[in-house]
Structure 1
Amino acid sequence: MKYLVVLLTVCLLAACTNRPTTSGISVEQASAQYQQQLKVDNPALGKKLAISDVKTRQTNQLSDVVVTLSSQYKKSQYLQYQFTWYDGDGFVIKGNHSPWQSLTLFGFANVQLSGLAPTSDAVTFSLAVREVSTQAQEFKD
């Protein structure tokens, strides 16, 4: 299945204030800033997507993140996304995968994707994005 793994390493601890900001920066500059954080397994899809902003905050001692996903393509894209959370040592927090969520990203549009850490141990996350086939599937006996 075609997919793109977007690995965003963001400091989500309340004490950290080094989160990149995009105030006064054009979308193109912000996209280039986050482009270093993209790990693309599907180059064709990777060219159609960009992360234009990442915001974090603490909500009831849990890390809360909003990622702005931007379409760099003129047509609608049918996608699914999923957040995965990691502890301070970089290990996946067991049983925390959010379910795959459906997303229709219209041509040249932006969408904000929200994720909430399952425990207070979560300090970083990754966002996986994959294409959904719009062709009918035929199953054989």
Structure 2
Amino acid sequence: MKYTLPFVAAIMLSACATQPVTSGISVEQSKNTFNEQLHVDNPALGEKLAITDVKTRQTNQLTDVVVTLSSQYKKSQYLQYQFNWYDKDGFVIKGNHSPWQALTLFGFSKTQLPGLAPTPTAVTFSLAVREVSTDAQEFKE
């Protein structure tokens, strides 16, 4: 099953200009089945990415996930991604989100993004993806 990000662009939320703009997905667990729910904050990035697979399993009472991210764009994309974990009531498990990880996604390629819940109480997660600027930064004196 292929889930593309652009079809939900109509319900996107506006982001504050001072914060990085992200596109992401969230996955909810319900009796060992997962329903993908897409959310887009950056329609330009959303058109360039697709989630083509989500796999989960239990490893030592922890939720283990692999999200397959596919490029729908001909050029390389320089990205960062981050998993956030939630308990059964939908509350963020504080202090247990992963750091932003660098990712280069080449034109029309796929990559698998692994995530492991920090505690057994983490039953759902969200994955945020954002672009990294490739413009040279200048330092002014």
Under TM normalisation by the shorter chain, which class is it? Answer: 0.7 to 0.9
- Structure 1 match to 2:119: 119
Identity of aligned residues (%): 73
- Structure 1 match to 2:104: 104
Structure 1 contact 77–107 (Cα < 8 Å) conserved = yes
Matched to 1:114, the amino acid is P
Which 10-residue stretch deviates more, 37-46 or 82-91?
37-46
Return the TM-score normalized by structure 2.
0.81
2 CA distance for matches of 1:60 and 1:17? 16
Residue-by-residue CA offset, 1:55-110 (whole Å, 9 max, x unaligned): 00001100000000000001000000000000011110010110110000001101
2:19 is equivalent to residue 4 of structure 1: no
Shift of 1:2: 4.5
2 CA distance for matches of 1:42 and 1:19? 24
1 CA distance for matches of 2:71 and 2:23? 16
- Structure 2 match to 1:133: 133
- Number of equivalent positions: 123
Structure 2 contact 85–93 (Cα < 8 Å) conserved = yes
More strand by share: 2
1 CA distance for matches of 2:131 and 2:25? 17
Structure 1 contact 4–46 (Cα < 8 Å) conserved = no
1 CA distance for matches of 2:92 and 2:140? 37
Structure 2 contact 23–46 (Cα < 8 Å) conserved = no
Secondary structure of 1:9's counterpart equals strand
Matched to 2:77, the amino acid is Q
Instruction: Tell me how large the CA RMSD over aligned residues is.
Output: 1.6
Matched to 2:81, the amino acid is Y
Secondary structure of 1:45's counterpart equals helix
**1:30-41 correspondence to structure 2 within 5 Å:** 34=36, 37-41=37-41
